[in-house]
Amino acid sequence: MRPLTKRIFLTALTCPTLGWLMRQDQIHNTITAADRFQIEQGQELGKRARALYPEGTLIATREFDSAVAATPNLMSDPDTKTLFEPAFLTDDFATRADILTRKPDGSWHMTEVKASTNDKAEFIDDMAYTTFVIERTGFNISEISLLLISKEYRLGMPPENLFVELNHTKEVKTRVEDFKPICTELEELTRTPQKPEPELRLECRGCARSLRYSTMLGYLWMLWITSRRIYGLKHCTAQL
């Protein structure tokens, strides 16, 4: 079975059923042209972000197990100042960080790069999961930053002006503590052979997989309203 990735974990937080389906490889999404464009845009942004750290070392392999094997050796090497795309796997929790920078005290500053000009609450959960997994492997993350696209950037400006860095250490560390009591439960829930029963929630809006269920509920609601109207009409007619 595949490990619990960040995408699966964060999905299972709001929809255990969908998280279970993703981990059990029962969902096969087709990459659209729009998806491919976003992927390429993210890759280009990552390259530009890495250019801000000329001393950095890139773990270029896309093979996750190979990246996991290479990461601790590089992080244990005092000559490694900055690491790009390090990978971590512990107790079936898996993640890759964008940028890790060694601090003078031996701890690490984690920086996540997002193709957005606006800070979003969902980014906190994103960084919290990555921090949680890295710290679970035994490394200390003492500072956490978010690298966004600057709204002030204009064509022709120096490359370093493309980004704005926001410190989210306090918010992320708080969210990590929220994750700790539920991480084992979510791992077991998405690993069990028994699919969790779906529960319609507010977060289900816009989810294509809830469309059939929500459509049926809407249909039943319409039947109930119609029956009430017919009953009212018959009742009024009887009085006449």
In a domain, 198, yes or no: no
Does 127 lie in the same domain as 88?
yes
Higher-confidence residue: 33 or 227? 33
Which residue range(s) make up the domain with 69?
A: 6-191
Smallest Cα–Cα separation from 124: which of 177, 64, 69?
177
CATH code of the domain covering residue 49: 3.90.320.10
Amino acid symbol at 25: D
Average pLDDT value for residue range 14-19: 92
User: Which pLDDT belongs to residue 195?
Assistant: 93
Does 112 lie in the same domain as 214?
no
Does 216 lie in the same domain as 154?
no
Does 211 lie in the same domain as 179?
no
Does 233 lie in the same domain as 186?
no
CB atoms within 10 A of CB 197: 7
pLDDT at 23 over 60: yes
In a domain, 196, yes or no: no
Does 178 lie in the same domain as 140?
yes
SS (H, E, C) 62-104: CCHHHHHHHHHHHHHCCCCCEEECCEEEECCEEEECCEEEECC
User: Which pLDDT belongs to residue 29?
Assistant: 73
In a domain, 1, yes or no: no
Does 102 lie in the same domain as 214?
no
Q: Considering the chain, what percentage of its residues have pLDDT values greater than 70? A: 83
User: Which pLDDT belongs to residue 30?
Assistant: 78
Return mean pLDDT, the chain: 87
Does 209 lie in the same domain as 187?
no
Does 68 lie in the same domain as 178?
yes
In a domain, 224, yes or no: yes
Does 78 lie in the same domain as 26?
yes
Number of domains observed in the structure of the chain? 2
In a domain, 197, yes or no: no
> Are 110 and 143 within 8 A, CB to CB?
yes
List 113's β-bridge partners, or say none.
147
